[in-house]
Amino acid sequence: MDPKVSIITTTLNIIDKDQTDDFYLQVNLLDKQTYPEIEHIVIDGASTDETDVLLKEYKTKGYINFYSEKDTSKVHAYNKGIMRAKGKYICFLSVDDYFHDITAIQDVVNLMEANQADFTFSPAYCRHPEGFVFLFQPAMHNAFQVMPCARQAMFFKRDVLVKENYFDEKFKILSEFDMIIRLMMKKYRGIYFDGNYTTYKLGEKAFANPDRAMQECKSIFYKNYKHLVRLDDDVLEYMARDSEFPRELLEKLADCYPPEDRELFFERCETMHQLRVESQRG
């Protein structure tokens, strides 16, 4: 029997935000997926417009299950979705994200099952708030410095997310980054899916709140690396702003990759540091 896949979408006031067409596209493309065992769970944050009417209509037609109640953040909604999910595998889509390849879920599940993977990552088309589109290629050798791939182009084993005690709700913007770091440090099995099936919109919250994102990044680094090296606020500032990591820390993080990737890891980390420094100058 094919394992069930849970797609979790968080919503709030879809109609007032003029997202009804986006949601229609997402739902209908999921319905066209070739994989038979999909549940689409919508976690609504107690919308105050007519979103509940729209969601009831989709539920009646058999497209979704939804739950509407107040939450503290998108991350809180993610975790509620995980708790309710029945799937072996989970993917998280925002209202304005969609799978443009109708065989995507079938192909990803086949890959995960064949390789006993705990999570997958793949390229994705990103729609920037300024109106252009670019291809976000995964950069997993930089996973300890920056968000290495699009959350919308990742599938996770539900059991792994539960074992890791869900997403950390302290982080309202970068919780996915924290989760990826945790998975990498504990050497869960991640595997690259060589195909692009996702189109997503760049999260405007991080884009519009750079100071908050910077503070969360520093907190994530401290939380995950404090047991490896001594970290003060100055060091954390360099790490978050310029991706400049202490060599002692990099030496320890390199152990999370296969031995044959060790030199590549150091090279990619230095390249990322130089790119970040140059962007600050620009």
Confidence at 282, pLDDT banded by 50, 70, 90 = low
Give domain limits for the chain. Answer: 5-207, 226-282
Model confidence over 18-75: pLDDT tens digits? 999 999 999 999 999 999 999 999 999 999 999 999 999 999 999 999 999 999 999 9
Give 244's contacts (C-beta < 8 A, 6+ positions apart).
238, 273, 276, 277
Q: Which 3 state secondary structure label does DSSP give 76?
A: helix
Helix 175-185 to helix 210-225 angle (10° resolution) is 20
Dig out the tokens for 103 from the structure: 């065989």
Cα separation values, 99 from 28, 33, 140, 232, Å: 10, 9, 22, 42
pLDDT band of 203, cuts 50, 70, 90: confident
Tokens 């540091």 sit at which residue? 273
User: Cα-flanking dihedrals φ and ψ of residue 38, to 5°?
Assistant: -125, 135
Q: Is the dihedral of CA 75, 38, 84, 122 positive or negative?
A: negative
pTM check: above 0.75: yes
Q: Which tokens hold the place of 39?
A: 């549940």
Tokens 């509940």 belong to which residue? Answer: 52
Residue 29's nearest CA partner among 120, 119, 85, 95 is 95
Cα 213 to chain centroid distance, Å, stands at 15
Q: What average pLDDT does range 215-224 have in this prediction?
A: 98
Which CATH number applies to 5-207?
A: 3.90.550.10
The 10s digit of each residue's pLDDT in 226-267 is 999 999 999 999 999 999 999 999 999 999 999 999 999 999
pLDDT tops 70 at residue 157: yes
- Summarize the confidence of residues 213-234 as an average pLDDT: 97
